Amino acid sequence: MFLAHRSGQPACAVVTESDTHGAVWLDLVDPTDTERDLAAHLTGKIIPQRSDLEEIESSSRLHTDDDAVYMSLPLVQRTEADLSSSPIGFVLTPNWLVTVRFSDYASFDNAARQVAESKTGFSSDDTLVMILECIVDRLADVLEHVGLNLNQLSRDVFAGYDPKGNIRLASWQRTILRRVGHAEDFSSLIRDSLLGLDRISIFISENRKHTLPHGLAARLATVSRDVTSLTDFVSQLSNKIQFLLDAALGFISIEQNDGMKILTVVSFIGVAPTLIAGIYGMNFKDIPELKWAYGYWYSLAAMLVSVILPLLWFWRIGWLKTDNR
């Protein structure tokens, strides 16, 4: 979709060059080659393709071409079930701002709404800074959501496995580890987006070919400070995720040790009865106990005692007591 945004009017689908009259922001959403060529014709600049925006080296993500500034970053997107990341591209000129994206983002919708409701008009620089502000606000909301999920995950980890529930212990452990892994994926995607925003804000503020007015420079500095604070928050989340991973693995190790204790008890108490049964099961001719009237019951009693005494000892030292809470 190809959208042209102008102050005081809603976004409109662009079909011809005349439809862009008064617009300063061209928003290309998963554009076709025809839409990309039309944007290039309107702006006189090359519009990057998706493969160009997915480059990871800094020189490809941030560079200038005459009076145009090319910028890109991976932007995280939160849906109801998951988080994903998609490249976003910006082409900034004195008269135009072209954005290239391949997913719907609430931050761009908010920015388009502000442009449509404005009565004073926006320049390309105004629009870029406003979009960056909306992206930062949206990432802050996503981080709040991730933080709440981590708090719930922390409670679930330290609450432990409930043997009265319908889920098995192994399934519970796998679920916890998957949730920890997903949380780490989320924080990694958000960290990449914040890193891209930080690089863009620094690149624009230090760019000598495209100088921002003083008011916009101050707003961009605020964006940079917000990105720094969010980056610190992501670092805290990463530390907490690592702590929860260590805690989950520790609890799993404790559960495994409890299982090994039970196996040790079972194997140990089976040794003495087996030994007694082996001794009195030998077929030597001269066995003193062979003529005992109560020899059979004696051997059974000896085997029973050899089972009960180790069980009492293991119970006394606490090996038979498990705490799943």
Considering only residues 128 and 83, tell me which one the structure prediction assigns the higher pLDDT: 128
In 32-179 the beta strands, taken as DSSP E runs, fall at 62-65, 68-78, 83-92, 97-101
pLDDT at 186 (0 to 100) = 86
Q: How far is Cα 91 from Cα 28, in angstroms, rounded to an integer?
A: 11
Averaged pLDDT for residues 105-111: 90
Between the alpha carbon of residue 287 and those of residues 37, 217, 292, 300, 309, the distances in Å are 103, 103, 10, 17, 27
pLDDT at 158 (0 to 100) = 86
Averaged pLDDT for residues 155-163: 78
Q: Is pTM beyond 0.85 here? A: no
Q: How far is Cα 246 from Cα 233, in angstroms, rounded to an integer?
A: 20
pLDDT at 115 (0 to 100) = 83
Considering only residues 258 and 18, tell me which one the structure prediction assigns the higher pLDDT: 258
Single-letter code of the amino acid located at 267: S
Is 184 inside any structural domain? no
pLDDT at 314 (0 to 100) = 80
Q: Are strands 68-78 and 83-92 parallel, antiparallel or unpaired?
A: antiparallel
End of a domain among 106, 122, 138? Answer: 122
End of a domain among 66, 92, 122? Answer: 122
pLDDT at 19 (0 to 100) = 52
Q: Which two tokens stand for residue 116?
A: 């449509």
Q: How far is Cα 10 from Cα 216, in angstroms, rounded to an integer?
A: 24
Which helix (DSSP H) or strand (DSSP E) does residue 8 occupy? none
Averaged pLDDT for residues 80-99: 86
pLDDT tens-digit map of 20-65: 556 788 999 999 889 899 999 888 899 999 998 988 888 888 988 8
Which helix (DSSP H) or strand (DSSP E) does residue 11 occupy? strand 9-13
Residue 179 burial (CB count, 10 A): 18
pLDDT at 81 (0 to 100) = 61
The values of phi and psi at residue 12, to 5°, are -130, 150
What is the CATH classification number for the domain harbouring 271?
1.20.58
Q: Which two tokens stand for residue 301?
A: 């009693």
pLDDT at 79 (0 to 100) = 67
Nearest CA to 154 among 80, 236, 76? 236
Name the pLDDT band for 5 (thresholds 50, 70, 90). Answer: low
Nearest CA to 262 among 312, 319, 309? 319
Is 183 inside any structural domain? no
Kindly tell me if the per-residue pLDDT of 175 is higher than 60: yes
pLDDT at 166 (0 to 100) = 59
Averaged pLDDT for residues 171-177: 85
Q: How far is Cα 168 from Cα 162, in angstroms, rounded to an integer?
A: 9
Kindly tell me if the per-residue pLDDT of 114 is higher than 60: yes
Averaged pLDDT for residues 101-110: 90
Q: Which two tokens stand for residue 129?
A: 């800074």
pLDDT at 98 (0 to 100) = 93
Is 10 inside any structural domain? yes
Considering only residues 13 and 188, tell me which one the structure prediction assigns the higher pLDDT: 188
Between the alpha carbon of residue 294 and those of residues 150, 213, 290, the distances in Å are 67, 107, 10
Residue 45 burial (CB count, 10 A): 19
Is 204 inside any structural domain? no
End of a domain among 122, 157, 177? Answer: 122
The total of structural domains in the chain comes to: 2
* Enclosing domain of residue 267: 258-317
Q: What is the DSSP letter of 48?
A: P
Averaged pLDDT for residues 175-197: 90
Q: How far is Cα 90 from Cα 68, in angstroms, rounded to an integer?
A: 10
Cβ contact 295:279 at 8 Å: no
Name the pLDDT band for 15 (thresholds 50, 70, 90). Answer: very low
Is 14 inside any structural domain? yes
pLDDT at 6 (0 to 100) = 58
pLDDT at 165 (0 to 100) = 59
Is 312 inside any structural domain? yes
Kindly tell me if the per-residue pLDDT of 198 is higher than 60: yes
**Identity of the highest mean pLDDT range in 68-82, 242-256, 264-278, 283-297:** 242-256
What is the CATH classification number for the domain harbouring 29?
3.30.460.20
